[in-house]
Structure 1
């Protein structure tokens, strides 16, 4: 049951699905924005569930209640663009007994804050529209600060006016840098600001309650969230319909829609043009539909625009992560499609021509996700597809082809089935523990491989990156703890918690009111060596140069993430002990001279620079120079690498693009780290002079 529920949650997160059209929302009168008896009841139930079942034990006192209010204000106004300092002071005064109010399910402060927020949005939008009627001087030396931590709440309307003057000027300049005409920019920004006010006016009582409750749950831990009855209904609809869309996980990031990850086999991943960290700033339908600016939109509304029936075209305007929110946007077209299990299946390749190792071959098995066909399994199909079954076949095939070692490529693998992570580990170890799971009551269960025997005994390496998460981390950690193989790449994502979906109505039997559902963090994963995969993730034995430029990422970047901790280790027998110093020295010497790694290192530096940027110039000439320099930095290194491979660089932003050449270019870049992982494994084989690899053949 746990596996099936986990699969449903994963599907909800990973797919943008086709859902029946909802009724167009209408403005909600202020007189309706007050808490209902059902919301009061739901708040009381949520308190009790969180107090009893949440993994992190939090005391609902005044200090915590203050965090909840601060989080709510941050969620509504992340850039401190609407509320005045006097508003915040009044909210804090009115919430001095918020802890007691929350226990009683009293929600007046939540709705009071939102009503003021709506009023302030109207004021700011009116001012922004007025600014659009004027002209901006882009030769003046001034800056726009977009980091909320560097600005406090505005003391008065005059100070807020100045912030908005610079904000609107920056919005205008950003579109100007994208070669839009001034008339087009004014029209687009007018629609953006008017749309912001319109969407805020469409928030109903359930929306306000959900926003406040999620501020409450996120003050405890970032993966716990509340779904209102209407959101729950949409979830149920999506689970009954065909899984069609672009295959991307999206999340809100201030006023932008951020790509959190892409789904293996989905149009977004297959296009090679959308990556984690990119911002979606515009959406259009079909080949010639008008591009709609979606900056400032609610995440649900952006998703509604992006999803659609199989075979239809959606065009996205993307701001790449390496350019930040102030750089050049580019437009891409995607054909929505159904994402099948086969598209996520593991696949293999062989790396040869390994320099000073003539005749040696390394097999590579790429695993995009930990999948298992639960439906076929439940129907009694003995040949149902799974990661473990597919990888076993690939291992046998690679060994028959005479490989000297195998690299398991988990880059970009966001996880999946826990059972598959456990059984996949069992292909490389004899029976034994794989991961420990500690629940909210302190009970520890051990997930173990109970199948004796090993499918592959030869040299092994696991390639990971910053997007390898959850089940990927469980597998990599187990291989590392057993000393069964080398872990190579970047520190992983660091998600070591377990969530379950709780129907709140079960706690009020006989009541016909729908209270919604709670996605609750109820357990944590621990390695068999005792440490958690939470927060720290899995540290590679041999890190690539890009790891030096990683800022806070993954779980480390989330507010209120559970800390790293440890429990007693499980009983297990190490398969061996590996030495890394010489391997690391040899790898460092190669990557320092490798043009591909120089390119990847430059990309990591650019991403770090963008993430650390707190303000931008509002001088057009200076911005253009900065952006040209930033574009040139990466493209120069990329072109140098491609030419060294005998390839002519392809510009993805060109009007006419050779798609085959572009695919070959992307594949060459993706192979840089794989080939170095293969060389590291060859070094290990030569140093250890180990036995020849062999596979245990099974039906």
Structure 2
């Protein structure tokens, strides 16, 4: 889940003169005692309680090291083969090191990575002093994840020369002058150098633990304190703060959005574009300057306990660097992240002479405020409760049918998946769980009657995983509605979160949390969504490449299997109508120019992915852009959300804030041809059922 206020990968770049002195290496990072203890405790837990325990031995050690190196340099553009040879000399020592509480191996590798990044960015900046010859015919290969490691400094330098040349050409083709290009790229590479200086021991440990846990199981994870807090927020859809989305831009922590109803918006004292240069606690606590600090650290300073006061030193959006500051006080409050909650819309769909009102409920995640529910809070936040409310509203609005849009819903609470299914099937079994001991437990919903008895379809894609697949599979098995879209992710495992500090009886948090796989879930028909996912009844094209995204992309994924079906009573059947629905769908999209454009755009996007290289010859690139512009003009292209053109060569924080927000808004408002077709298919089904 990527949000500006949770961003870890972007840091402030302290303003410096162009072509400043080459950056020196930062102090080497060293592991902390509690990190070694957390790794050792995690290893003990994984060895005893995982669904598929894997011994921490030399074989796993090699996998952990390989994954850790890959996480640092996934495209093989930083390290040399000599670096890799040196790292792999320790490939069978990671297991013993973890057991002995020694994390010096991964930290030493990360420190080499730091040094290599500094070398690369200094070299990239040095190249900006020269001029590039764009009449030469040469290519830049940007897909290197399966390429050999560089054998020499000269080979690596030539690659980076092409990379910088490619960055330059992208900006040149947008009409920017050489001086402007030098300034943009120098700041970009300097920002990467600044990022290195901001890394902390926690970052290295988190990366290493990701490599360790993911080597055991693709969905086993480690959460440090901050990652754990972000996970809790994503499940609760709430936090305590001021209600502002922050982003780092041009050396400042900048307000990108004010959340409606939050203290920041209600105060009237802040505006989009304002910059936070200092933070103070309480009515009279000292204000600490935050220019140059990491965004996640600033966020933690601004968040706090409900009804407490935070003071912000603000540089207004319209002011220059030497402008007049103002200090404001805000009282922190609970902020509901309503944009990430379920929401509804109504689409009008023509079906012959009739017009169908199709309700669409978009559910981004299966969220649930566990703590509030356990404490007996009657108004606790949950996905199923929100959807139940929306279904009630759609009834009042006389909707003819409902599409549940689960695209890119990566899952969440198992309880919520069961409860949501009950809204459509009522009382009955929803999913089976098999634990590590082989015992099978059936999860049932006890709702006496469904909340929605009308027609329903479920729209999924490759990003629909876990709880989304439980819900879609149950709807399909019960014959309750059509499943439309791409085959889903294929995650058929169940995880639980263990607080390591509670296990160790720590008074203060220091070990973090472990999310480990404890069971595998199975459909009521006995099959599993593991690896294969949910197969749609009617397939729509999608943007994802199944070779690189989904359960099948993991080399250590559990295999597909099945168990005995549970006794259940289907509430309907679609088999008889499916051939006609498929025919109506094919006839409609064949003559739908928007849908055909979408298919063409996907094909072009896939071709670009597979090509993997880009020409560094200016004439060739101009011809490519002209041909693309000509195709788009001839087709009178609509914005369908597939980004194929209009490349400005800029990164998000290099554009003006207004331009970046406008681009984001345009993408959100792009025509959703897949949702429109899903609604049309449901309208067809309603018509057939009425007949």
CA contact 1:362–1:407 (8 Å) conserved in 2: no
Q: What is the match of residue 268 of structure 2?
A: none
Q: Distance in 2 between matches of 1:77 and 1:665?
A: 30
Q: What is the match of residue 150 of structure 2?
A: 154
Q: What is the match of residue 499 of structure 2?
A: 503
The question of 1:62 aligning with 2:64 is answered no
How has the CA–CA distance of structure 1 residues 116 and 352 changed in structure 2, closer, same or farther, with 3 Å as cutoff?
closer
Aligned 1:531-550 pairs, distance under 5 A: 531-546=527-542
Query: After superposition, what is the alpha-carbon deviation per residue over 1:162-203, rounded to whole angstroms, capped at 9, x for unaligned?
Result: 122112212222332344332232233233333333433443
How has the CA–CA distance of structure 1 residues 552 and 24 changed in structure 2, closer, same or farther, with 3 Å as cutoff?
closer
CA contact 1:245–1:307 (8 Å) conserved in 2: no
CA contact 1:434–1:449 (8 Å) conserved in 2: yes
CA contact 1:491–1:547 (8 Å) conserved in 2: no
Partner of 1:361: helix, strand, or coil?
Answer: strand
Aligned 1:45-194 pairs, distance under 5 A: 45-194=41-190
Q: What is the match of residue 353 of structure 1?
A: 350
CA contact 1:32–1:204 (8 Å) conserved in 2: no
Aligned 1:238-637 pairs, distance under 5 A: 241-242=240-241, 244-246=243-245, 287=273, 339-341=336-338, 344-349=341-346, 351-354=348-351, 356=352, 358-359=353-354, 361-369=356-364, 370=366, 387-389=383-385, 391-392=387-388, 395=391, 398=394, 404-509=400-505, 514-546=510-542, 552-557=548-553, 560-579=556-575, 580-630=578-628, 633=631, 637=635
Q: How many angstroms does 1:364 deviate by?
A: 1.7
The question of 1:41 aligning with 2:37 is answered yes
Q: Distance in 1 between matches of 2:316 and 2:562?
A: 46
Partner of 2:75: helix, strand, or coil?
Answer: coil
Q: Distance in 2 between matches of 1:307 and 1:598?
A: 47
Partner of 1:148: helix, strand, or coil?
Answer: coil
CA contact 1:500–1:520 (8 Å) conserved in 2: yes
Partner of 1:426: helix, strand, or coil?
Answer: helix
Q: What is the match of residue 328 of structure 1?
A: none
Q: Distance in 2 between matches of 1:673 and 1:341?
A: 24
Q: What is the match of residue 5 of structure 1?
A: none
Number of equivalent positions:
602
Moved more, 597-606 or 194-203: 194-203
CA contact 2:347–2:679 (8 Å) conserved in 1: no
How has the CA–CA distance of structure 1 residues 416 and 247 changed in structure 2, closer, same or farther, with 3 Å as cutoff?
farther
Q: What TM-score, normalized by structure 1, do the two folds share?
A: 0.73
CA contact 2:359–2:399 (8 Å) conserved in 1: no
CA contact 1:535–1:561 (8 Å) conserved in 2: yes
Q: How many angstroms does 1:245 deviate by?
A: 4.8
CA contact 2:241–2:302 (8 Å) conserved in 1: no
The question of 1:16 aligning with 2:9 is answered no
Q: Distance in 1 between matches of 2:6 and 2:567?
A: 44
Match of 1:669 among 658, 671, 676: 671
Q: Distance in 2 between matches of 1:435 and 1:302?
A: 41
Give 5+ residue unaligned stretches, structure 1: 1-11, 251-262, 268-284, 291-299, 316-336, 643-650, 691-699
How has the CA–CA distance of structure 1 residues 473 and 71 changed in structure 2, closer, same or farther, with 3 Å as cutoff?
same
Q: What TM-score, normalized by structure 2, do the two folds share?
A: 0.73
CA contact 1:431–1:451 (8 Å) conserved in 2: yes
Query: After superposition, what is the alpha-carbon deviation per residue over 1:436-468, rounded to whole angstroms, capped at 9, x for unaligned?
Result: 233444443322111223344443322233343
Moved more, 521-530 or 78-87: 521-530
How has the CA–CA distance of structure 1 residues 390 and 126 changed in structure 2, closer, same or farther, with 3 Å as cutoff?
closer
How has the CA–CA distance of structure 1 residues 635 and 29 changed in structure 2, closer, same or farther, with 3 Å as cutoff?
same
Q: Distance in 2 between matches of 1:392 and 1:240?
A: 23
Partner of 2:145: helix, strand, or coil?
Answer: helix
Q: Distance in 1 between matches of 2:335 and 2:647?
A: 25
CA contact 2:49–2:518 (8 Å) conserved in 1: yes
Partner of 1:184: helix, strand, or coil?
Answer: helix
Q: What is the match of residue 219 of structure 1?
A: 215
Q: Distance in 2 between matches of 1:689 and 1:204?
A: 63
Partner of 1:219: helix, strand, or coil?
Answer: helix
Q: How many angstroms does 1:221 deviate by?
A: 2.9
Query: After superposition, what is the alpha-carbon deviation per residue over 1:266-295, rounded to whole angstroms, capped at 9, x for unaligned?
Result: 99xxxxxxxxxxxxxxxxx954989xxxxx
Q: Distance in 2 between matches of 1:230 and 1:383?
A: 27
Partner of 2:114: helix, strand, or coil?
Answer: helix
Q: How many angstroms does 1:610 deviate by?
A: 3.6
CA contact 1:131–1:165 (8 Å) conserved in 2: yes
Moved more, 631-640 or 614-623: 631-640
Query: After superposition, what is the alpha-carbon deviation per residue over 1:477-508, rounded to whole angstroms, capped at 9, x for unaligned?
Result: 11101111111222233344443333323444
CA contact 2:361–2:387 (8 Å) conserved in 1: no
Q: How many angstroms does 1:341 deviate by?
A: 3.7
Partner of 1:149: helix, strand, or coil?
Answer: coil
Partner of 2:5: helix, strand, or coil?
Answer: coil
The RMSD of aligned alpha carbons is 4.7
Q: Distance in 1 between matches of 2:535 and 2:447?
A: 28
CA contact 1:596–1:641 (8 Å) conserved in 2: no
Moved more, 41-50 or 194-203: 194-203
Q: How many angstroms does 1:62 deviate by?
A: 2.5
Moved more, 613-622 or 177-186: 177-186
How has the CA–CA distance of structure 1 residues 51 and 157 changed in structure 2, closer, same or farther, with 3 Å as cutoff?
same
Moved more, 625-634 or 449-458: 625-634
Q: How many angstroms does 1:623 deviate by?
A: 2.2
